[in-house]
Amino acid sequence: MDYDISQKDRKLQENRKTIETQRKAIQELQRMVVAFENLRLQAEADQLEMLKAKEGLKQFEDLKVRFDNEYHTKEKKVKLHEIEGQLSEALKKESESSNKIESLQKDLNKYKKQLEVLNAKIEEQRQENENIQELLKESAPGSAVYKSPGAALKLAAMKRMRDAGWTTITNSDKKKKKFTEKIFA
């Protein structure tokens, strides 16, 4: 009986050790479960934080794209405004040039008319001079040419008129040339 008791006692001791070992194992498993649960919660928190970071990054990238688009649009507007200013300035200069050309054309037409008038006067004076010379030849006694002081004065006046006409024409040409140089300078 002692043997049975001692065997039962040993078995009981073994069972107690087993139970104690199992209890320790259960406690460690519970700690591990708690640790795993904490890790799982931490992993979920990290995943949420990662999602928030991804959303923030996506919003940032969207804002960057929008900013870039707005920047390029405004840059194009600025360039367009500069081009419009340059075009406006060019049109203004073209208008001024057109006005100056029109003025020069009017002056040229005026000078052409003056030249025609002067040429007509010169031709008239030349014919009158020829007529006077013929009259002088016809009225001259013998072979000597008879010249009256009135005819000499008339010839001098014609030369002065002709010289004055050419001076007017050359002066107008000089003015026109200077004006043209100013326009295209």
Q: What is the DSSP string of 32-82?
A: HHHHHHHHHHHHHHHHHHHHHHHHHHHHHHHHHHHHHHHHHHHHHHHHHHH
Give this prediction's pTM: 0.39
Show the domain range for 128: 2-184
Q: Over its length of 185 residues, how does the chain's per-residue pLDDT go in tens digits?
A: 677 888 888 888 999 999 999 999 999 998 899 999 999 999 999 999 999 999 999 999 999 999 999 999 999 999 999 999 999 999 999 999 999 999 989 988 998 998 898 888 888 888 888 887 887 777 655 544 445 566 667 777 777 777 776 676 667 666 667 766 766 65
Q: What is the pLDDT of residue 154?
A: 72
Rg (CA), the chain: 60
Q: Which two tokens stand for residue 136?
A: 């002088």
Alpha-carbon span 60 to 168, nearest angstrom: 79
**Alpha carbons 110 and 161: distance in angstroms, whole number:** 19
Which residue type does 102 have? E
Cβ atoms of 149 and 80 within 8 Å: the answer is no
Question: In total, how many domains does the chain have?
Answer: 1
- The pLDDT score that the predictor gives to residue 50 is 95
